[in-house]
Amino acid sequence: MVPGTVNELSAHDRMILDLEKTASSAEAREALCRRIDLPPEKYAVVLEGLVDTDAAYSYAPDVVERVRLLRAERFAFERRQGRWKTFVR
């Protein structure tokens, strides 16, 4: 995790985490992306990076844990499908 405090989150970071706290829809995400001038296809990339920070965890631990769990499940599924190879040395 990347260390940080809640004070290091930008207003846009907090908006993204706040949106994820609610039962957000694709329309809500797109509206937020327009508001903060973020290409919608980059939203998930920004969220994934954001949840790897201590600042995000301090601000919204429930969101961070949910997104991390979903990411772990997605990677586990991909590994089972043979799409992610484990390199053993």
Model confidence pLDDT, tens digit, residues 22-52: 867 889 999 999 999 999 999 999 999 999 9
pLDDT at 88 exceeding the cut of 90: no
Q: pLDDT > 90: what percent of the chain?
A: 62
* Helix, strand, coil abundance in the chain, percent, nearest 5: 70, 0, 30
User: Where exactly are the structural domains of the chain?
Assistant: 6-80
* Cα dihedral: 53, 57, 59, 60 (round 10): 130
